[in-house]
């Protein structure tokens, strides 16, 4: 292996003492491939097992914590105990290859499609529809305080199921516009109670979810169970989450006893837009705010070994790869064997079976122009 890439393969000890064998993480990416009842399919198990061989950890596609929180067709379910055996198969497949298995848990909130929910009941912090171009955005129903309490508890229940299924950890999905982010967002959250208003009050729900998950870990497991949190740094809407507001949130998150933070970015090198130094990348600003209190996973259009080498030099502790590991499951192995020149960075649409990509995911990938390199933009 080229010594320049050695930092990618150094082990890392998380705050809870668990050791991740290297710095490469498979990023969570919706795969649309579970059974209608939320159980995991054989295709999914093959897909994750193949990619677990070279990475330090796999963070799965999102798993919905309640029937009313489902965000996609073919989504992993963690909303009831009868799914534990199915989840166990997935956890075992990932762990058998030496990678940590981390289940991402979420509630879609106002981004949940009506046709996937009981009685089409789309809920959110406030009855403000999402702003998404090209889609019909339903006006959600505002959650009651009692319902909010139930959802918080459901995050804890989902964590217990993940533990019973043998996962090494959970990632709380507070990014990409879903319910946890909606509570922090001044666009989605117009409440005037304890859950809304000031930046500090809009943090209440995310922080309570973390507390519930951590309480569950103490009750049913031990300190070896990993708890991470993913967030999106800014929103395009006005009003919307700004970089300045996210830095305030991250300052609180860094003191919550989490095992890692995970920023959601399409471009690792993207710069801040609002309420921060716009000459600096978001990664730079986050690392300065965190100040080594908790490890950070960076992500965003990292394809070549040199991309990863440059990203690691910023000081991030981990790098997550999503699309690249779909296109080349042997990405890490190739670097370790000194074959980084053979890394595949565009999708070969003739190699679905060779790449062990589930049919539903493949169909989405090949039908969305510009999402993957090799799929031409319109």
Burial state string for 317-344 with b = 16 or more CB within 10 A and e = fewer than 16: bbbbbbbbbbbbbbbbebbbeeebeebb
Decide which of 3.40.718.10, 3.20.20.70, 3.30.420.40, 3.40.720.10 is the CATH code for 3-365. Answer: 3.20.20.70
Residue 376 predicted with pLDDT over 80: no
Output phi, psi for 61, to 5 deg.
Answer: -60, 160
Residue 105 predicted with pLDDT over 90: yes
Domain ranges of the chain: 3-365
Determine how many CB atoms are found less than 10 A away from the CB of residue 179. Answer: 30
- The 10s digit of each residue's pLDDT in 273-297 is 999 999 999 999 999 999 999 999 9
Instruction: Classify residue 62 as exposed, middle or buried by CB count within 10 Å of its CB (0-12, 13-18, 19+).
Output: buried
Distance CA 88, CA 40 (A): 9
What tokens does 183 get?
């509570």
- The 10s digit of each residue's pLDDT in 344-361 is 999 999 999 999 999 999
Catalytically annotated residues: 178
- The 10s digit of each residue's pLDDT in 16-62 is 999 999 999 999 999 999 999 999 999 999 999 999 999 999 999 99
The predicted model gives 258-268 an average pLDDT of 98
Helix (H, G, I), strand (E, B) or coil at 141: strand
Please, are residues 122 and 91 in contact by the beta-carbon 8 Å criterion? no
Determine how many CB atoms are found less than 10 A away from the CB of residue 96. Answer: 12
Residue 135 predicted with pLDDT over 90: no
End-to-end CA distance of the chain: 39
Residues 6+ apart with CB under 8 A from 173: 28, 62, 104, 105, 106, 180, 230
Global pTM value: 0.98
Q: Could you tell me the pLDDT band of residue 133, with boundaries at 50, 70 and 90?
A: confident
């Amino acid at each position: 292996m080229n010594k320049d890439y050695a930092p990618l393969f150094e082990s890392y000890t998380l705050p809870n003492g668990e050791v991740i064998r290297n710095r490469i993480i498979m990023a969570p990416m919706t795969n649309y491939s579970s059974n209608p009842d939320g159980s995991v399919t054989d295709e999914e198990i093959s897909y994750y097992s193949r990619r677990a061989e070279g990475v330090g950890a796999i963070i799965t596609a999102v798993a919905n914590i309640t029937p009313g929180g489902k965000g996609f067709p073919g989504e992993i379910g963690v909303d009831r105990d009868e799914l534990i055996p199915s989840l166990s198969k997935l956890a075992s497949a990932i762990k058998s290859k030496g990678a940590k298995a981390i289940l991402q848990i979420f509630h879609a909130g106002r981004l949940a499609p009506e046709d996937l929910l009981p009685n089409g009941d789309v809920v959110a912090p406030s009855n403000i529809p999402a702003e998404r171009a090209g889609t019909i955005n339903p006006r959600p129903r505002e959650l009651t305080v009692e319902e909010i309490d139930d959802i918080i508890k459901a995050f804890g229940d989902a964590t217990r199921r993940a533990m019973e299924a043998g996962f090494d950890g959970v990632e709380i999905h507070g990014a990409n516009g879903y319910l946890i982010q909606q509570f922090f967002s001044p666009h989605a959250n117009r409440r005037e109670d304890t859950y809304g208003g000031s930046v500090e009050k809009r943090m209440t729900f995310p922080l309570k979810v973390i507390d519930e998950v951590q309480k569950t870990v103490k009750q049913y497991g031990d300190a070896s169970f990993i708890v991470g949190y993913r967030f999106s740094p800014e929103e395009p809407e006005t009003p919307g989450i700004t970089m300045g507001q996210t830095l305030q949130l991250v300052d609180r998150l860094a003191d919550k006893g989490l095992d890692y933070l995970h920023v959601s970015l399409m471009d690792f090198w993207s710069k801040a837009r609002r309420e921060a130094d716009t000459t600096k990348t978001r990664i730079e600003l986050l690392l300065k705010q965190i100040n080594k209190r908790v490890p950070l996973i960076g992500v965003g259009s990292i394809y070549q070994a040199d991309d990863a080498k440059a990203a690691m030099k910023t000081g991030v502790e981990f790098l997550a790869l999503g699309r690249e590991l779909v296109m080349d499951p042997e990405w890490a192995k190739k670097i370790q064997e000194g074959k980084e020149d053979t890394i595949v960075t565009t999708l070969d649409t003739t190699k679905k079976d060779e790449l062990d990509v589930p049919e539903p995911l493949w169909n989405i990938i090949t039908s969305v122009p510009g999402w993957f390199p090799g799929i031409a933009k319109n």
